[in-house]
Amino acid sequence: MVETIPSFGLGTFRVDAEKTVNSVKSALQLGYRHIDTAKFYNNEESVGKGVRDSGIPREDIWVTTKVWHDQLRREDVVKSLVESHRKLNIGTIDLALVHWPSPDSVVPIAETIAGFQDAQKQGLIRHFGVSNFTAPLLEEALKAPGGEGIVTNQFEISPFLANRKLVEATQKLGVKATAYMPLGESRAHKDPTLNEIAKKHGVTAAQVTFAWLLSRDIVVLSASTNPEHQQVNWDSQKLKLDADDIEKIDALDEGERHAKPPFAPKW
């Protein structure tokens, strides 16, 4: 069993069911051991098939799914996870997250955590955590009964949305910060500063971005259906940036947020 969340994972948001199978399979064959999906992505069956067809032992792979924000009542959490468990069809799910906090905190987080604990007792999931939680929401969740079990807070982080305060608050609370949309919706590829640093190291702007996140002890999720991109992204774990590079990347922060659905919390 993988005991802690692997620091580099494959995302599957906006990847259709058919492409997901091959994307998951190729990533696992390249060395990835962490796959991120969600009930909302409508591709859990394909993620499960990719995992099963990869030839990599199930116990070496960490799979995360998420529960949508209208399913956060205790019984609904379990129902959602029964369905995710059935669709993934890979045995116990490694991690389940609250995808977005209950809008206006209509469902108390303590109730949702009780649902996760029920799911743990039923063998549906091993760990639970949260996504898109602000620092006050995360603090509240950690204080709820069982809240100490929260392993990560997954939220948007890119060079253009460094999200420094939330990263620091999350890490200070002993919770892993996980980055989604790390490339700022492809902006990283075109950014002159990232490209200048990339040129210096003989790598790509995407690799510089991932190495910067890893240097901040942030778990990276990158999505790609292209095995060449998957390999490039995976190799970024070998890249060590110097203090000057990091200072330049830190200066790119503009607070540019892409994920802003109407039900998002007040950041």
Ligand X SMILES: NC(=O)c1ccc[n+]([C@@H]2O[C@H](COP(=O)([O-])OP(=O)(O)OC[C@H]3O[C@@H](n4cnc5c(N)ncnc54)[C@H](OP(=O)(O)O)[C@@H]3O)[C@@H](O)[C@H]2O)c1
One character per residue 128-157, x = contact with ligand X (rule: CB under 6 A): ---xx---------------------x---
Kindly state whether residue 224 participates in binding ligand X, applying the rule CB under 6 A. Answer: yes
Overall size of the chain counted in residues: 267
- One residue of 44, 128, 233, 245 binding ligand X per CB under 6 A: 233
The verdict on whether 180 is a catalytic residue reads: no
Kindly state whether residue 226 participates in binding ligand X, applying the rule CB under 6 A. Answer: yes
| Shortest Å, Cβ 35 to ligand X | 8
What are the angstrom distances between the C-alpha of 229 and each of 168, 177, 181, 226?
Answer: 30, 24, 15, 5
Nearer Cβ to ligand X (75/235): 235
Tokens (6 digits) for 168? 């620091």
Which of 8, 32, 41, 212 is labelled catalytic? 41
| Shortest Å, Cβ 32 to ligand X | 12
* Residues 11-50 contacting ligand X, CB under 6 A: 11-13, 36
User: What is the residue type of 105?
Assistant: S
Kindly state whether residue 102 participates in binding ligand X, applying the rule CB under 6 A. Answer: no
Which residues 6+ apart lie within 8 Å of 25 measured at CB? Answer: 50, 53, 54
Which stretches of the chain bind ligand X, using CB under 6 A? Answer: 11-13, 36, 99, 131-132, 154, 180-183, 186, 189, 206, 221-226, 229, 232-233, 259
Just list the catalytic residues.
41
